[in-house]
Every structure is written in structure tokens, then in C-alpha cells.
Structure 1
Amino acid sequence: MATEHSHIFLRDTQETDKFTTPRGGGPQKDIPERNRQSHSTKLQNQWAAIWARAREQQESRTAVSMPTRDGVYVEFEGAPGYDLVTKSLEDRGAGIRLLNVYTIRAETDPTQEITRATVFIPSGKQEKFLKKINEYAQNESGGNKRTHATLMRSIEDLRLAVLESFWRDDLRLLPQGTTAVWCEIWLQGTDDDIEQRFRETAAALNINVQARSLRFPERTVLLGRSTREQLANLIESSPDIAEFRRAKETARFFLELENRDQTEWVNDLRSRLRVNPDATVAVCVLDTGANNGHALLRPVLADADCHAVEPGWGVNDDKGHGTLMCGVAAFGDLTDVLQHSHPLRVDHCLESAKILPPRGANDPDLYGDITIQGMYRAAIQAPERNRIGCMAVTSEDGRDQGRPSSWSAAIDKLTSGYDDDTRRLFIVSAGNIEEQQIWADYPQSNLGYSVCDPGQSWNALTVGAYTEKAILADPDLQNHVPLAQPGELSPFSSTSHNWEGKWPVKPDIVLEGGNVAHAPDGFISEHDDLSLLSTGHQPTQRQFDAINATSAAAAQAAWMAAQIQARYPEAWPETIRGLMIQSAEWPIAMKRQFLNANGRGEYSKSDYGRLLRICGYGVPNLAKALACASNSLTLISEAEIQPYTKKEGRSDCSTKDMHLHRLPWPREVLLERGEMPVALRVTLSYFIEPGPGEVGWKDKYRYASFGLRFGLNSQGETEENFIKRLNKAARDEGEGRPDTESGSERWLIGSNSRDTGSVHSDIWKGTAADIASCNLIGVYPVIGWWRERTWLGRWDRRARYSLLVSLHTPDESVDIYTPVAVQLGIPVEVTV
């Protein structure tokens, strides 16, 4: 066995400087020119018509004793292809609230977007906006008087909001006719009295509302079964509506089971198990329950660790999927461990949280709350454990296209420690393509099949599937061929290829998910030869069953993460996620499948950005995630930064701190090696707090509580110029950005593709001499709702992050680890 060393953790080595972003002022709004007189007259007339119509509706409802609201919902619309100044539509002091912002394609020109915003205006406050229109009408732009010209010019039309103004899902999913369907109802505000007021209104309208609710910053989400007419009545009756969405249905994927006598295999493996009885790391599998009577699961899954969100369901697995997940989360693919005879050490335990009923299907419910409750039940039972969540339950479709949902936001809330300040690693599957007719267009079909809810969660480690399985040993499969070649994307795997670039890269990684077989007549189907092996849920009848797709991949990711956490018990969950990504690589076959080389055999950053949206950062390498070799070095810094600050007496915030990491570097060794190729990799991992709800993704309304970015000094760039390049606050008054190269061209992926979501990773391949002087990394904040929504009182919070930096040389005789360990006074561990 080769020499291995533990990763090096740098403790409190970062330096803190005051930070100001170099990009002052932000992007300019694109506002149309207007004829002030005619435009102001149009807006005044529309405003008067809105309130006249609102009075008529209120009088009509009052006459028949229908509930009424104390205020009006107004929809503001921008001009096609131009911005709408949504920031100025809200006046919190007057109770005027911006509820949602969305865009549609212009009917006259589908290439242009129209921005619409829904605003609630309390009764008696309508004069606030009318005053702005009048001031715009009476004053030319410029001068000392406020003319509100920018806001008014940005508004094309005003109207009373209608049901479609609040429906933030595919319009085809709106309830039709008298059919009642389950809908998510998003309320503005989180006070108990707001929820109670809404429940009373819903009861008066005969709308069935579930008891569960989810709360996010400025939003409460409930589930109600409603017709289209009832939703429209809700808008007329309640002053608290922010948006509606169709509730998700879940899909559970189970393979056909085979009845084989495999008891001898189980007994042999059981005799080789070395389970740590004092394990402090647990994988909590949220699924259909688990049958821990299986001889392989009994040592790792105690009765006390089997839970159900609804106690009446029982904790046993009646369907089989949860037990299959547990087997892989405990041991990996059993096909591999059954083929050797050496002892198998297991340093983590399992927990099972049943989140799906034993018979039939759940009524649509707030799956975010069910997921949180499943994790909390396990935590109450064993609060001292370092817990990793694992879930392969997803929606049936990818209609969110990367947009946050109540389910994905609940996972972001749980993982960020919003309620209890406890961060958690949570692993989710990306969702599966399961239809034979869609496989026929592989791999093009994968590009159009979106990662399913809640896989768009920013903080979750979302796992897609690739495959190495291509051997068809079944004699009945003569002349069949595997659809995917070894190392390629699994036909099951969904992607974020068609998502807007502002949404996170998903999946984050890919792991073995199996393959499908293509028959001579064109029929495509699943087969056990191309699947993974796991524990069956009916051990008295059969010991093993097959599992595949992104369920199997997610369970393997949990198995790997648990081993990393057991190796580094004090490491943060942000670090474990970072190590999984830091160790990942794209197989050659995967790059050949999706990258398009130019005439020189090179790939562009946009090519790698595309690959990232299909396969994430690739396949993680457990050995690299666990330890370094002498010719490889991984440095890890876990730190806290305060992104924002607020001056006394001011309501707005600004950026506060930047961290400078001066890394211990094997400089002399690198200089000696000169032209030797070296790979440098940087990964920045952190968990954001969610601010869901479509109140816009520009200006001050952001989903993420904060964002961080990293920068690396260039070859020959001085420390002073590097800091000034990143940090405007480090420059003298009037001093411009230093005329130094940023080195952006050296990165494999580039900032345009990597700087989304809450984990950013990139690779630079150069010579040892080039990299020898590049040991300065700056970590600095970008905008988030902590800064923009100061009234929520979280602007002064500190943010955690993990920074991982790796150096790798292909020459195993080169020792770059020991010189760094000596600098830091770390004893060099040797395992032979």
C-alpha cells in the first residue's frame, strides 16, 4: 500500500481585512424613455380604475357576507425587454409589501421578457403611490425634488392582480373547473396571528388546510386542497397571500425482486464485519422504513434508531426501497464486498426515518416539513451523533427548473442550522428517467430531463448517476448491448443542463447508478446484470435485491461521506461536502461523451461549464477524500467571516470582512521541479440560509442569505496588488484597480460557471514553477438577503465556510507533503 497522510487542517490562520467590492454601483437599470405627460396621465387613470374596481368587488362580497381583505393586490408590469424597478415598489413603513416578481415572454416578441411584480397595498395607503405619480407628472427629471422618474418610466401598466399573478408554477397546473387539488399557499410574514388569520379565512371558504406549516424568512407555507374558484376567493378575502404553487407528487422507484437463496453469502460477510460499537457518525436514511431484522443490517441499525414521521405507519419497510438504501449506505455495492474475503470495518451506524406510508401514497403534503421531522426524530433519539441525512425520494418531474421550492428550501433551512445553529450534511438523489421511450434518445434525453425537486437545494449534496456496468452475463441477453459505455453518464440520470445559469450546478457529483440493455429490436430495459446489489427487505424469502439509478448513487455518497466523517470526526459538514467534490474527476469516457474539442484538441470554459451542468464535478475518489499521498497535498481551513455590517443610524448594510489565506507552500520543491506539471484545485464550501418565495432574484430580494467567492494570486503578482485587485477598501482614495493579470484564463471551469450555488470548485493545471508563488487565496462576500433585508435582524451574523486547496504532482517520487508538515510542526504519519 502506498504511503498516506491525513489532510492538513489549518487552524485560525486567515487574516481579516475590511472589504469593499471593487464593482461599485452594480448594474445599471435598462429603463425606457417616456413622454412624461402622456405616461403619467396613463398611470393616473389606471390607478384610479384599480381602486374603483376594488371598491366594487368589496361591496359585492360584503353584500353576500363573503370575507374581505383590508387592502388591494396590484400587479405592476414593465415594458418588454426593459427592467422594472421592483426595489422602489415596497414601503415597509406604510405596510406596502412586494409579494412576488416573475417574468413572462412577450407575445409580440418571444425573445424579450416582461417583468411583473405583485404588491399588496393596505386600504388608506393608495395615496402613497398616487403621490409618486403626481410628482413625476409635475416635475422634470433632475433638480432637487424627488420625481420618481426612474420608477415611473419603468412601469408599462398597472392592474388589479388576478389568480395568475400569484401562481408561481406552470399555468397548466392550475386547478381546473370544480376539481380540488393540493396547492402550496405561501403567506407573507411568519407571525402566528398571520397564520391563524389565514386559517380562519380558509375555513370560511371551505378550504381544507393541513395542520403542518413551514416557516422561512418572511414566508409561511401551508398546504390546502382548493379549487380554482376557491383560490380566487382567497385572493379577494386574505391580505396575506404571496404566491401559490401546485403541491408535488412523489415517485418511488422499486426494482423487481428475485427469490434467491443467498444465506451463505450473508453469513460469510457477517462473519467478516467489524462494526464499531461506539460509532459517533450516523447515516439517517429517509425513505420507506427499514427491516433491520436482516442479518447484515442488525449490527448497524438498532431498533431504537428506527423511526416514522407518523407513528401509526410503523417503522418496518413494507415496500423495500428503504432497506435497499440502508444496505448500500452501510456497505456500498454488495457485489464488491462479497467478492473478497478480508475483514470489513464499519465505523458508522444507520438510522431509518420512515417518511412514506406503508400502503398507498401520501396525500400531497409539505414534504419539506416531513423531511425535517424525520431528521429531528433521529436527533432526539441520539443527539450526540454526527448525522448525515440521505434521501432518494423526489418529485415526479423537474418542473422547477432550478427554482427553489418549499421542499428544497426546507433542506437548505435544515442544513444551514437556521433554527438551531446546527449545520448538517444532507445528501439527495437527482431524480430518475425511467421511461423506455426516453432512454431511446440517450444521452440527449438526459440533457432535457431536469433534476427533480428537492435536488435543486443549494446546500444538499445532490447526486446523479454514471455507470461502469456493461457486462451482460445472462444467457437470455444474447445480442443485447449496454446503452451506456463504461465511464459514461447513466441513462437514468437527470441534469441541470437547461437551467438558467443563476441556479446551482446540479448534480454536484455522480456515482454508480447502473445501466440499461438495448435489445436488437430496439427495446430498452433494466436488468440485474447492470444494477447494484443490496439487502432485501424480506430476508426470510430472499437476502439480496437489486438497486439502481440515482437512489443507488445517493446511498453510495452517504456511505462515502460517513467514512470521511469517521476519519475526521471534528470536520464540519461543509468540509465533508467539500472533500467529496474536491476528490471528484470526470472519467475520460464522460469527457469524450459531452466535451467538444477544438481543432487543437482543447476545450473551452463554456464546454466545461456544460459538462458541469450534466455530470457535476464528476466521480468522487474515496481514497483521495480520505487521505493525501506524498505527491499530493490537501490543506483545509474552516473559518467564520462576517460578510456585512451596518453603520449606526443607517438602515442599509455594506460588506464588511475579507479573509486572506497565506498558505504554507512547498515552494522550494516546486521551484526545483521547474517544468513538472502540477494540478492546483480550490474548493469553497458553505451553507446558505434560504429566503424562498419569488420576490425577485435581483436588487435586494435574494434567495441566499450570503454568498462567498475566492480569488488566487497570479504568478508574479505581489500580495499588495492581489489584495487591491479583490478589495476596493485596500486602495487609496481615487486609486483604480491595479493593472495586473487576474489569471482568470488559467482556470479550467472559470468563474462564470463555478460561481453559482454555495459550493465553488475549480482546477488550474500548470508547471511547478508557475504555481510556486501562487499561495495567496482571498475569500470575500457578495450580496445576500442578510445584507438587503436588514429588518430581519441577521445582517450581523457570522458565516462559516470551508476552504480546501490541493496540490497534486503525477510523479510519485516527489514529496510535497512533508515540507509543508515540517513548516507547521505536524508529525508525518506513515502507513505502509
Structure 2
Amino acid sequence: MPIKPNYPVRRDVNAHANFIQSKLNDSYERSKNQKQAAAIRYKNGVYLEFSGSLGHEMSVKSLEDRRQGIRLLNVKENMGTKQVKATVYIPDGKEAHFLNKVKAYATEVSKESGNPKNNDLISSIEDISLAMLESFWTGKIDDMPGDESRWCEVWIRYDVKKSKKSQITSNENQAMNSLIQCCETLKIGVNEQSLTFPERIVKLIFANKSQLTNLINICEYIAEFRRAPEQTSFFDDLSGSDQQEWVDELLARTDFTDQNITVCLLDTGLNSEHPLLFPAIVDPASIQAVNSAWNSDDHDGHGTEMAGVALYYNLKEKMSGSHQVTINHKIESVKILPPRGENSPELYGAITEQAVFLSEITNPKAIRTLCMAVTAPNYNTDDGSPTSWSAAIDSITSGVNGDGEKRLFFISGGNVHPIELNSSSYPDVNILHSIENPGQSWNAITVGAYSNDAIISSSDYNGCKAIADVGELSPYSSTSKLWNDKWPIKPEILLDGGNMVTNGADFSECEDLSLLTTSKDFLTKPLTTTWGTSSATAQASWMASQIHNEYPDIWPETTRALLVHSANWTNKMINQFRTDDKKTVGIKQLLRTCGYGIPNLEKAIECANNSVNLVIQSELQPFKSRKMNDMHIHKIPWPKDVLQSLGEIDAKLKVTLSYFIEPGPGEIGWKDKYRYPSCGLRFDVINSDETLEDFKKRVNVKMRGDDRKDSGDGTKRNWYLGPGNRDVGSIHSDFCEDVAINFCDTNYVAVYPVIGWWRERGYLGKSNEKIRYSLIVSIETPEVDTDLYTPIVTQIEIEQSVEVSIEI
């Protein structure tokens, strides 16, 4: 059943209608007066800003009427107040459109619903005013130009019409010419490059606040303004001495802390004397090589490039800003690639293990994140089954070959090369290019890439356009769409990997669409660019270090879970890949290309009043004497009275379960998913109509599942992914959306084991081992005034998790 929109209820229809009518008339009158007083030509129409009620939705789709020329330009939601605002263009002569809707709202009743006519639209509007510059500005208001001119993105609209002959026509040129003429009138600089999307054109203009305000007054095609970020090519094109000035300026406002939180790069080495990196080096001994004959310096450049991203995350943003920067983690490096030739494939796993141990021996007390953006596409598996290298990483992370210490490990998914687009179009090329070895690892987080830039300013790329839009999968990113469904979801998360460009025939990298970072040749030119899943993996490692800075004592399993739990897809990713009408097929394609989406660090670290993460770290003994043994049932302290009071308001329940498996000994059984992992864990949530005893019995039955099928969730809740998609690998995350009142009784979550080689190979003496896990459960509502946090914390002080052990 679809969830009803959360529109406000207006008790006095006539009073609300009169108020909205007066706001419309007042706005039209003010617009008329401004036009009469203007010294320059005014646009033919008016821009209005419609505001919704705090914490409620607004029927924005009803604000547009293409037949009348009334166009919805932009929609913004304040994340703090949860207020929606929409900017709308109304052409001259169409002012009565909304006045007539208000009149019908006050005087007519819909036969179907019994509500006032146009109820959804008019009742959802809280206020109307003339649109000001702030109405068009997307992003931080502080980024808006002041008296000094700055480069800005201007997004202009153009109409697309379908004629009787089914021919599509547009006024794209008309809109563009109007903008250019208006900019000439106001003496606003315009960049020659442009970016065209359906119904939108993006241009770069050089303007101050006054000029932007006047541009709104005279141009009827404005949809929104955004800050134009400093293009990466600006820094890349600077001379070495000019780059050094920017480096010195950044260092002057950067503080480096002494905390022992590190990112350890397993790569081509590191030129640690780089001025942007040197203050964050643990000590010279932490810059090492697996083979001392290789030396520890960076012979290729890739390792130093990774370090700049892993340390600063977005170096271009920090370089362009003026605020104080704090770096709260350090960099380590172990060189795993020789300066000449290559390692023998059978040594990949042993070399990786040796590198990890070297870093730990040198700095045994570090809270460490392992980061490796080195893959081997030529030594891969076609179906996603483990390789000796990925299995070695599973051993390293699970601690089976050492003292049992668990480790957090990030691996790049591997890159699509631009030449591959000559034979396959984007994004089909990403589907055809599978995750590269050792990205099959169950315990490591394999990182893919999305595109965060699409505007090109460098004259070196005249006539070129970006391949992917902002928020879409990066053309570089590999996927697991072609893998057998029984192997893990890869990549798990996406971060910024840049974009490619094309002139229609050729495809290539582009500095403007890449990430700024540190160069190995720092004495001559300290800055360079990087891209692909490598930069995305370095960004993921940076995120992990921020979580460790906030919570230094959490398990690696938990850091991994927080990143996945906080991730979401963009709407553009959903539109790209969830194209199949069949829900299961569409979701599977989205999941196997984009993983769980882009992680949100703020969500991973913090709990807001209306969105709370409950984190449980525990361990259970899955088997006993080759029989199923433990399951845990955790009582979740949801504030039932608060959820009941919210009634029909939307809410989202999300559960993430993370654990590390011990890989199966030898490849003899790897074709069977129950033979590779030591054991698997699953989660389940109590049904609305279940007693606790019935819930225990139902989960107990699932634990009896044999090795021929993995009995899935089986609950009646409408999980978005469902057990068939989520219950692979060693991290499982899913969510369901419903009205808040229906989540009142989701107060028990079970964690239970499924079969693995620990039980099946009892002769290896592992059948009585224990496994750690991290469970994250969250509930979220759009109501900013709803305090879920306080009653949950109060209950936690009183109640503890209920752990149930059942022997089968």
C-alpha cells in the first residue's frame, strides 16, 4: 500500500485560502511595481517562491503546468527545519492560474475524496513570496558572491515540445541567446563552454551578487545558481612555483594532531618528503617496502597520489578555501610493487600479508585502516568466486593467521579503461567490466566510484563533454553484475572517482573531472590529478579514519557497518540501473553496480533526534559438536509512544549486520557458498503479529536450513532488497519504509547463524569457534521536532539486550 504524503491538515479552509490569496496578490503587485521602477528591460513574467510547512511535504508536482508555461525551476529542502521551498516561473497573463486554484479550494469539494478541490496543493503551501536571489541559490549561502565577482554556474531552463508530427522541438537556442544578451547588458562574463541536460543548460558566468540579482530581474530562463568550484585544471596548469605558493598557504592554516590513527597505503611507495604529507608521517620507519631492495620511495606516483586523497579527502576544496584545516590521522606506507617488472601472481597474497605485518610491527598501537588500490585484472575469476589473493585478504582481516586481531581493509574495484568505450557504450561498459582481483574479498570493503563533476573549463577539451552526469556511476567503475548471485555484493560503497570525456569519437581522462592530489615530483610540481576507483578507495579510507577519531574503540566490523549503513543511492543511480519493471531484477542490477550507494559520514558518526543508530557489538558460538547452537535476540528500545503519536507520518527502519568470515581452507569447495565461509550470519525482525515466543520459534526453524538452500528472511515486512539480494557475503543491509505507527512493535531483532565449513569440516577442530558481529539498527522520521534519541537513551540505561542460546 503506497504511503500517503505528509501534507499539513488545514482546519479552517476559508482562512487558509484567504491567506494564500493575499500572498499571491501581494507578490504580483510587488512585481508590477518593480517593473515600473526598473531602469532596464524587465522579464516577461514573475518568479515566485512557494514555501511548505515545517516538517511536512509540499505538492511540488502540482506547481507546474507546462501548457500554461508555468515552470517549476528548483526544489530545495532545509535539512535542519525540513522545510521544502520551490521556485516557480509564471509568465505574463497567467497570474490567475493559482488564484483560480485557491478559489476552487475555498468553494468546491472533490467528489472522489470529499476534500476541498486542489487540497493537496493549497493545503501544503505555507507561504508565497517573490523569489529573491537566495531562492535560486543551491548550496551554502556563504558561497554566494558578495561585492567581488566569482565564477558561478547558472542553470537555465528550456522547453521541449512534441508537435503533431511527433517531432521534438526545443527553444534551447532561444534560452541560451537570451542569457547571453542579458549577461552582455549587465556586463557579466560568460564562459564559452556549456553543459546540456534535458530541459536544462549549465553555463559558467563571472558575476557579483548585484549582477546575479539583476540577471533574475531581466532573464526569464533562470532556474538556479550554484557556486562554480575551482576547476582542477586551474591547479594542474599552474607552474611548479605557483603550485608551491598554494601549498604553503594551505599548510599555514592546517593543524596536524598527534593521534595514533593511521591510513596504511599498500601501493607503489611514498615520497614522504612532500610538504603536504611530511607532517602526517608517523615516523620515517613507517615508510617501508616488502623488499628492502626496492627502496620505499614512490617509483610510479600512484602511492603518493593516493596519500594526498587519503589525508585531505578533497584537496581542491581545502586548497580553494580559507578556513582552518585539521588533519587528525597519519599516513603509513608499505611498498608492495617492485620498481621494475612485477610480482609473481602466486605471491600476491603472501606479499600483502607481509606488508600488513610490517606496518603492525613498526607501529603496533595504531588504530589502522588498510588501503590498497592495486588490482590484477589478468588474474581474475569470471563469476566472483574467491581467488588465492582475495582469500589471503580474508585471512588477514579475520586474524586467523596471527593473534586473532581483526583488521579494516579497503580495496579498489578496478577501473574501466577509456579505450573500452570504443566497443561498449556507457554504462553498459561498466556492467561488462567485472570487479578485479582481489575485490572478491568477503571481509574487505571493495570501493567503486561515482561522478561528482561534469563541467569542463579547460580549453584542451574544446568540443568535449562529460560522459556521466553528476551523481551517476563513474565511467571508471567496475561492477559485479555478471557474477554468480551467490557471491558477495561488490562494490559495497561508491565515492568520488571522477569522470571521463568524449568528443563523440574518442574517450579520455580529463583534469577538470579528476581529483586534485599530491605528486611524487614535489620538488618541481607538487600537485597532480588522480581518478577512478583508486581515488574513491583513498576517500573511503579517509572516512574510516574520521570514524576512528570519533570512536577509537569500535571494532573494524563496526566501522565497516557504519559506512554501509549510512550509504544511499542518488536518484540518478536509481534511474540508471533500476530500469527493469520486475522489482527483484531492477534492484539486483542497482545493487550489483552501485552497491549500497554513497556513504554519509555525518550519518555514520552522529545521531540526530529524528534519526538514531543503535550499535550492538557481540559474539556468538554458531555451532556446537557439529550442530547449530546460538542465536541472539536483541531487544530494541524504540519509544513506542512517540512512534504512535506520529501516526501516518513516514518512517524508515534500517538494519545492517557485519562480521568477518574465516575463508575455507583450499579451493576444493569454493564452488559451494557454504564451503568458503566459516559460517554465515543473518538477521530477522519480529513481525507485527508475532509474539516473542513465536518469533524465537520461527528463527529457530531458519537455523535448521540445510546446505542446499539459504532460508531467507521470510518476514512479512516489505524489505527493499529482500533476503535473496542481501544475504550474500558477510555484510547484510536492508531497509523498509512504512508509516511510523507500524514500527511500534519492531522491538526485537534476531541474529542467527547459517551453515559454514566450521560445522561441515568438524575434523579441522573449528566447530566450537565463536564469531564476532556488529549489528546496527536505526529508525528515521522526517519530523525534525520528533525526539527519538532521548527516550531511547533512557531505556538503554534500564534495559539490556536479551541473548537467547538455543541448542539444536
Interval containing the TM-score (normalised by the shorter chain): 0.5 to 0.7
Cα pair 1:467 1:512 within 8 Å, conserved = yes
Alignment of 1:313-392 (within 5 A): 313-392=294-373
Secondary structure at 2:684 match in 1: strand
User: Distance between the aligned counterparts of 1:434 and 1:258, measured in 2?
Assistant: 27
User: Distance between the aligned counterparts of 1:810 and 1:268, measured in 2?
Assistant: 42
2:637 equivalent among 643, 653, 664:
664
**Which stretch shows the higher mean deviation, 395-404 or 710-719?**
395-404
User: Distance between the aligned counterparts of 2:739 and 2:585, measured in 1?
Assistant: 24
Post-superposition CA distance 1:435-492 (Å, at most 9, x none)? 4243651101111111000000000000011111101011232331100011111111
1:282 equivalent among 249, 262, 277:
262
1:590 equivalent among 573, 578, 582:
573
Q: CA RMSD in A?
A: 2.2
**Which stretch shows the higher mean deviation, 474-483 or 525-534?**
474-483
| Matching residue of 2:614 | 635
Cα pair 1:425 1:574 within 8 Å, conserved = yes
| Matching residue of 1:689 | 662
| Matching residue of 2:562 | 579
User: Distance between the aligned counterparts of 1:462 and 1:325, measured in 2?
Assistant: 16
| Matching residue of 1:620 | 599
1:784 equivalent among 756, 762, 776:
756
| Matching residue of 2:250 | 269
CA displacement at 1:365 relative to structure 2 = 4.5
**Which stretch shows the higher mean deviation, 682-691 or 268-277?**
268-277
Residue 447 of structure 1 pairs with residue 431 of structure 2: yes
Q: How high is the TM-score relative to the length of structure 1?
A: 0.64
Q: Which amino acid aligns with 2:272?
A: N
| Matching residue of 2:227 | none
Residue 493 of structure 1 pairs with residue 477 of structure 2: yes
CA displacement at 1:370 relative to structure 2 = 0.6
User: Distance between the aligned counterparts of 2:671 and 2:437, measured in 1?
Assistant: 23
Kindly tell me: are residues 292 and 729 of structure 1, through their superposed partners in 2, closer, same or farther at Cα, counting changes over 3 Å? closer
User: Distance between the aligned counterparts of 1:625 and 1:685, measured in 2?
Assistant: 14
| Matching residue of 2:511 | 528
| Matching residue of 2:229 | none
| Matching residue of 1:48 | none
CA displacement at 1:575 relative to structure 2 = 0.2
Cα pair 1:631 1:809 within 8 Å, conserved = yes
Residue 295 of structure 1 pairs with residue 238 of structure 2: no
| Matching residue of 1:80 | none
Residue 551 of structure 1 pairs with residue 531 of structure 2: no
Secondary structure at 1:589 match in 2: helix
Cα pair 1:289 1:353 within 8 Å, conserved = yes
Alignment of 1:55-134 (within 5 A): none
| Matching residue of 2:701 | 728
Secondary structure at 2:483 match in 1: coil
CA displacement at 1:622 relative to structure 2 = 0.9
CA displacement at 1:666 relative to structure 2 = 1.6
| Matching residue of 2:781 | 809
CA displacement at 1:288 relative to structure 2 = 0.6
Secondary structure at 2:529 match in 1: strand
| Matching residue of 2:395 | 413
User: Distance between the aligned counterparts of 2:303 and 2:246, measured in 1?
Assistant: 21
**Which stretch shows the higher mean deviation, 258-267 or 461-470?**
258-267
| Matching residue of 1:13 | none
- Count of matched residue positions in the alignment of Structure 1 and Structure 2: 554
What runs of 5+ residues in structure 1 fail to find an aligned partner?
5-255, 647-652, 732-740, 827-832
| Matching residue of 1:192 | none
Cα pair 2:373 2:533 within 8 Å, conserved = yes
Secondary structure at 2:426 match in 1: coil
User: Distance between the aligned counterparts of 2:740 and 2:454, measured in 1?
Assistant: 39
| Matching residue of 2:64 | none
Q: Once the two structures are aligned, what percentage of the paired residues are identical?
A: 46
| Matching residue of 1:165 | none
Kindly tell me: are residues 674 and 264 of structure 1, through their superposed partners in 2, closer, same or farther at Cα, counting changes over 3 Å? same
| Matching residue of 1:81 | none
Secondary structure at 2:783 match in 1: coil
What runs of 5+ residues in structure 2 fail to find an aligned partner?
1-77, 82-235, 705-712, 799-808
Kindly tell me: are residues 742 and 786 of structure 1, through their superposed partners in 2, closer, same or farther at Cα, counting changes over 3 Å? closer
Post-superposition CA distance 1:176-197 (Å, at most 9, x none)? xxxxxxxxxxxxxxxxxxxxxx
Secondary structure at 2:547 match in 1: helix
| Matching residue of 1:144 | none
2:550 equivalent among 567, 582, 592:
567
Post-superposition CA distance 1:546-580 (Å, at most 9, x none)? 00000000000000011111111110000000000
User: Distance between the aligned counterparts of 1:426 and 1:813, measured in 2?
Assistant: 39
| Matching residue of 1:68 | none
Alignment of 1:428-467 (within 5 A): 428-438=411-421, 440-467=424-451
Secondary structure at 2:559 match in 1: helix
Cα pair 1:724 1:730 within 8 Å, conserved = no
Alignment of 1:79-228 (within 5 A): none
CA displacement at 1:259 relative to structure 2 = 5.6
Residue 718 of structure 1 pairs with residue 691 of structure 2: yes
Secondary structure at 2:320 match in 1: coil
User: Distance between the aligned counterparts of 1:498 and 1:447, measured in 2?
Assistant: 7
Cα pair 2:683 2:749 within 8 Å, conserved = yes
User: Distance between the aligned counterparts of 1:424 and 1:594, measured in 2?
Assistant: 33
Cα pair 2:684 2:715 within 8 Å, conserved = no
Q: Which amino acid aligns with 2:430?
A: N
Post-superposition CA distance 1:35-55 (Å, at most 9, x none)? xxxxxxxxxxxxxxxxxxxxx
Cα pair 2:399 2:406 within 8 Å, conserved = yes
CA displacement at 1:812 relative to structure 2 = 1.5
CA displacement at 1:339 relative to structure 2 = 2.2
User: Distance between the aligned counterparts of 2:350 and 2:605, measured in 1?
Assistant: 33
CA displacement at 1:3 relative to structure 2 = 8.7
Post-superposition CA distance 1:29-87 (Å, at most 9, x none)? xxxxxxxxxxxxxxxxxxxxxxxxxxxxxxxxxxxxxxxxxxxxxxxxxxxxxxxxxxx
Cα pair 2:487 2:673 within 8 Å, conserved = no
| Matching residue of 2:741 | 769
Secondary structure at 1:394 match in 2: coil
User: Distance between the aligned counterparts of 1:744 and 1:369, measured in 2?
Assistant: 46
Cα pair 2:80 2:784 within 8 Å, conserved = no
Post-superposition CA distance 1:519-538 (Å, at most 9, x none)? 14x21111100100111111
Kindly tell me: are residues 447 and 258 of structure 1, through their superposed partners in 2, closer, same or farther at Cα, counting changes over 3 Å? farther
Larger RCO (CA under 8 A, 6+ residues apart): 1
**Which stretch shows the higher mean deviation, 435-444 or 280-289?**
435-444
Q: Which amino acid aligns with 1:509?
A: I
Residue 470 of structure 1 pairs with residue 432 of structure 2: no
Secondary structure at 1:727 match in 2: helix
Q: Which amino acid aligns with 2:316?
A: T
Secondary structure at 1:284 match in 2: strand
CA displacement at 1:343 relative to structure 2 = 1.6
Secondary structure at 1:695 match in 2: helix
| Matching residue of 1:71 | none
Kindly tell me: are residues 559 and 608 of structure 1, through their superposed partners in 2, closer, same or farther at Cα, counting changes over 3 Å? same
User: Distance between the aligned counterparts of 1:663 and 1:575, measured in 2?
Assistant: 18
User: Distance between the aligned counterparts of 2:271 and 2:463, measured in 1?
Assistant: 38
